[in-house]
Amino acid sequence: SILQYKLRINNTLKIVDNYSHVKLVKGDKLVIEDILTGIIDPSKYIVNFKGFVGNLSNNSGEDRGYEIDTAKGVLMERYSLNKKGQHYYVLTTLNGKEVGKIFIDIQLQAS
């Protein structure tokens, strides 16, 4: 089944295909609005930005709807792919099985 991600980057809506890379610059604000899944109800999935905790009192791993401010130090570097805080990923699971992911590449400053 098709899986796409509906993202809001600095208030601009963007639809992103599964397994693609999203390029951000440090300071960008990202919201994972939802996923587009075809026939299965999107609420059955868990969409987890690895290295970000949306709700500190209940870290269910569900990160849709939270603003992720890349400038604020809310991302945990140890979860980034090279431990340098630049490459993260968003993992989507259904019943505990991976069904998709996208990669978030954060440039530290505009080049």
Outline where DSSP puts E strands in 37-108. 45-49, 67-69, 87-94, 97-107
| CA–CA separation, 94 and 111 (whole Å) | 38
The conformation of residue 99, written as its DSSP 8-state character, comes to E
Q: What is the pLDDT of residues 44-94, one digit of tens each?
A: 999 999 999 988 888 789 999 999 999 998 999 999 998 989 999 999 999
Q: What is the pLDDT of residues 19-31, one digit of tens each?
A: 999 999 999 999 9
**Which are the contacts of 108, defined by CB distance < 8 A and separation ≥ 6?**
26, 86
- Collapsing DSSP states into helix, strand and coil, what is residue 44? helix
Instruction: Give which of 96, 75, 100, 82 is closest to 5, Cα–Cα.
Output: 100
- List domains and CATH numbers for the chain: 4-107 (2.60.40)
